[in-house]
């Protein structure tokens, strides 16, 4: 997968050199290019922002550098899917990550200040697919951290990136039986630590009982932390034993 990222702080993306994604890059599974937006700003100070029309506090990112950046990175005929992080976008979920992981080329546009002049998305939408996505109901200082989060969520779904692809299937929100569930507690050795024992069932070797226990715990945790997810599951995803938990 090819990833282009445009930002006024390219140094934010140093973490993409390490851990899982760094390994994926070195293995040729992920081809990442980070671009400094200011190379497409032509005045002496390389200005990328200006005061908002209509007044009000803060600054808005100018359309010209963004327009030039997108034209230079994606001149066509092949075009990427443009992903624009913004608190006013549709929610970024595991399903969004899975959908984007199926794309050959993604281009991320990191906003700063009060955001990017709205004509940039309107213009880009005439020639490429554009997704305005939000990480949640809070406001970050810029799109860089949001893009790091999305790249990690998408990257770990690419074939060959995770050592054990099956671990993705058991994750919270994974398509299938975990779609609307949070994963329950996990344990490793030793079997007793500070007088706290690992639940017996996990040491039993009984795969059916372990699977049932994991589902029960997932249901309990979801009910406790995210009851609205459980309500969605109740539409048809509960068996008789689930209802008893």
48 annotated as ligand-binding: no
* Binding flag, residue 91, ligand SAM (CB under 6 A): no
Give the whole-angstrom CA distance, residue 84 versus residue 66. 12
**Least distance between ligand SAM and beta carbon 145 (Å):** 8
137 annotated as ligand-binding: yes
Show Cβ contacts of residue 86 under 8 Å, excluding neighbours closer than 6 positions.
111, 115, 132, 133, 134, 143
* Binding flag, residue 54, ligand SAM (CB under 6 A): no
139 annotated as ligand-binding: yes
**Least distance between ligand SAM and beta carbon 168 (Å):** 23
Strand partners, 5: 34, 108
Classified as helix, coil or strand, 50 is strand
Give the whole-angstrom CA distance, residue 111 versus residue 117. 10
* Binding flag, residue 96, ligand SAM (CB under 6 A): no
Q: Which residues are catalytic?
A: 87, 114, 156, 171
* Binding flag, residue 151, ligand SAM (CB under 6 A): no
- Cα 53 to its chain centre, rounded Å, is 32
- Binders of ligand SAM among residues 61 to 90 (CB under 6 A) are 85-88
Q: Which is nearer to ligand SAM, 149 or 210 (CB)?
A: 149
Give the whole-angstrom CA distance, residue 148 versus residue 145. 5
Among 139, 192, 235, 244, binds ligand SAM (CB under 6 A): 139
Torsion angle of C-alpha atoms 63, 65, 69, 75, degrees rounded to 10: 60
- Judged by the rule CB under 6 A, the positions of this chain that interact with ligand SAM are 85-88, 110-112, 114-115, 134-136, 138-143, 146
């Amino acid at each position: 997968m090819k990833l282009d990222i445009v930002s006024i702080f390219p140094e934010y993306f140093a973490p993409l050199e390490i851990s899982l994604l760094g390994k994926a890059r070195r293995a040729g599974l992920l081809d990442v290019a980070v671009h400094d937006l200011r190379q497409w700003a032509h005045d002496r100070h390389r200005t990328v922002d200006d005061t908002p029309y209509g007044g009000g506090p803060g600054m808005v990112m100018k359309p010209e550098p963004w327009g030039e950046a997108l034209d230079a990175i994606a001149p066509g005929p092949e075009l990427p899917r443009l992903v624009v992080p913004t608190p006013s976008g549709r929610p970024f979920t595991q399903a969004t990550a899975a959908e984007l992981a199926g794309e050959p080329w993604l281009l991320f546009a990191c906003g700063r200040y009060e955001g990017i002049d709205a004509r940039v998305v309107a213009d880009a939408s005439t020639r490429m697919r554009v997704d305005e996505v939000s990480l949640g109901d809070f406001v970050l200082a810029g799109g860089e951290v949001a893009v790091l989060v999305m790249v990690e969520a998408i990257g770990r779904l690419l074939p060959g990136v995770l050592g054990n692809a099956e671990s993705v299937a058991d994750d919270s929100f994974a398509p299938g039986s975990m779609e609307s569930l949070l994963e329950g507690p996990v344990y490793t050795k030793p079997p007793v630590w500070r007088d706290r024992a690992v639940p017996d069932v996990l040491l039993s070797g009984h795969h059916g009982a372990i699977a049932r226990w994991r589902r029960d715990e997932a249901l309990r945790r979801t009910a406790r932390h995210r009851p609205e997810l459980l309500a969605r599951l109740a539409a048809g995803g509960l068996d008789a034993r689930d209802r008893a938990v």
